[in-house]
Structure 1
């Protein structure tokens, strides 16, 4: 019996010690996050019923356009996303801006999901002056078989360079089978190579350019561009939740090790799936090779510098 009492006493002491240790651990930081790659979606964009998230399997809990906005904003708030660069057709971006003007930064998609043409340059300047957009992009030119060197874009890039408007360019890949889709018959993987932007950077040395999806899978080309062109930044969107985590970590760590940790921007690229915001944040939080300082740079500091939000 004395041995039983001794064992109970030891267990109580160990439990108390563990509890005390747990209470002394610092709480996870409450971050301020800037999402540089959010989409203003509508309920019907993916058909009458939204498909399940290909990673989490969750079906989005919305059925109307107003519910899409509400659910997306709720996810942003829950994860402490204080600003979100939100692209889409002008009416859809306007709905997000109206719902939360302090959080949403409007961006001008081209081509947008309503197949609207680019506004003429005078309208482009006016829309920017009115605050209807602050970022030119996402430019999904690859889906139409084009690149940033398309001559039709040159006057817009000149305006962006003069006025300090960041340009956000889709690079890398798309969904499997995208080139067989009626909307994207001209999609080619080679057109996602970020190396194709170099002549634009030469012509516009003060242009602020954001490589979306951090140029994945063109790692060597992305490193070369970041090395030569200091005005170039890269966002880590979609790769941070759609790829196997080991693959994402391998690519991200290579860029951080190469010295570009202060040129990487957090983005979710949530598309139809608001829960992708949490998935993408978690993957960065759990990256074992990132210091606390590097995480905060990716989540907030780098974007604040790039977009002039300080």
Structure 2
């Protein structure tokens, strides 16, 4: 009898989404080399509290002071582990499609390992060395470029309307592929981190996209990290430009939960729940995917319909998935 009672409890007491998860689209995933980050580095999810430590500016920054939680998540120790653990997380949470940016060769390796249509290939620009427009055209023709981004302009201290990037936005509009651009916070204490010297918080204003959107009215563009913390500016831009979407990546799992929920609720209350995309911004910590999904699931102010829109429906519309593709994603 005890065994039967246990089985009945599992079937009747477990939430439906835990028994059979509905599909998810992750609009912001990375296939980075694992050795870019020290292997096994811990990271605190936002629901455990994230603290930016105070330190003497004459002293060397101690990054260990950022980890002040009981249950951190850990970065992968090799390229293969990063790939395999990330793909396992995608399967676990029924992420059917994931826009994935990184070195072209690594993205191709992840696509092969994942099989099917799971990995949607993205190519970055706005880095210190960008691919030429001709190279991007070749990648697109070969099926290796479906989304142009992440655009790392803010990490270079550059504005989106800088003339040197005009050809990239024009190409995306011509090819009718989306652009994902970083606007928002960088790593904590970015001004003190070697390699991030060019990053400028002041280059994260959503208003800097205005001229790009006016020049390219047919361009599908989404702002990664929703221009955090400049939510009012983002709302003003979305109100003005109907082809502008946002994703919630990184902020959804790594930022203080109260801050993230405040920003998300403000965008939803402003009427933009149909233009908010789920993204994890998984880089080196595969468990970030699950942490990000749980953050949306636990949001007390979101209805079931709004959660489904953020998790899947908005991205399906933004990516222009066909009815057949949507139906395939919903097959279990």
Structure 2 residue aligned with 1:5? none
Match of 2:83 among 55, 58, 69: 69
- Measured against aligned partners, the alpha-carbon deviations of 1:158-181 in whole angstroms (never above 9, x if no partner) come to 111121110000011111221222
Structure 2 residue aligned with 1:137? 149
Unmatched runs of 5 consecutive residues or more in structure 1 = 1-15
2:149/2:179 contact within 8 Å kept: yes
Match of 1:52 among 42, 53, 72: 42
Structure 2 residue aligned with 1:123? 135
Q: Secondary structure of the equivalent of 2:302?
A: coil
- Measured against aligned partners, the alpha-carbon deviations of 1:128-172 in whole angstroms (never above 9, x if no partner) come to 111111011111111111121121211121111121110000011
Quote the offset at 1:25 in angstroms.
8.0
Q: Structure 1 residue 109 and structure 2 residue 124: aligned?
A: yes
Please provide the CA RMSD for this pair.
Answer: 1.8
Distance across 1 between alignment mates of 2:13 and 2:183: 44
1:172/1:192 contact within 8 Å kept: yes
Distance across 1 between alignment mates of 2:74 and 2:213: 41
Q: Structure 1 residue 78 and structure 2 residue 68: aligned?
A: no
Quote the offset at 1:309 in angstroms.
1.7
Alpha-carbon spacing, 1:26–1:57, altered in 2? closer, same or farther (3 Å): closer
Match of 1:227 among 223, 239, 258: 239
Q: Structure 1 residue 41 and structure 2 residue 56: aligned?
A: no
TM-score of the pair, normalised by structure 1: 0.88
Alpha-carbon spacing, 1:268–1:24, altered in 2? closer, same or farther (3 Å): closer
Distance across 1 between alignment mates of 2:140 and 2:318: 18
Structure 1 residue aligned with 2:161? 149
Unmatched runs of 5 consecutive residues or more in structure 2 = 46-70, 323-332
Report 1 or 2 for greater relative contact order, CA contacts < 8 Å, sequence distance ≥ 6. Answer: 2
Structure 1 residue aligned with 2:114? 100
Structure 2 residue aligned with 1:287? 299
Structure 2 residue aligned with 1:23? 12
1:50/1:272 contact within 8 Å kept: no
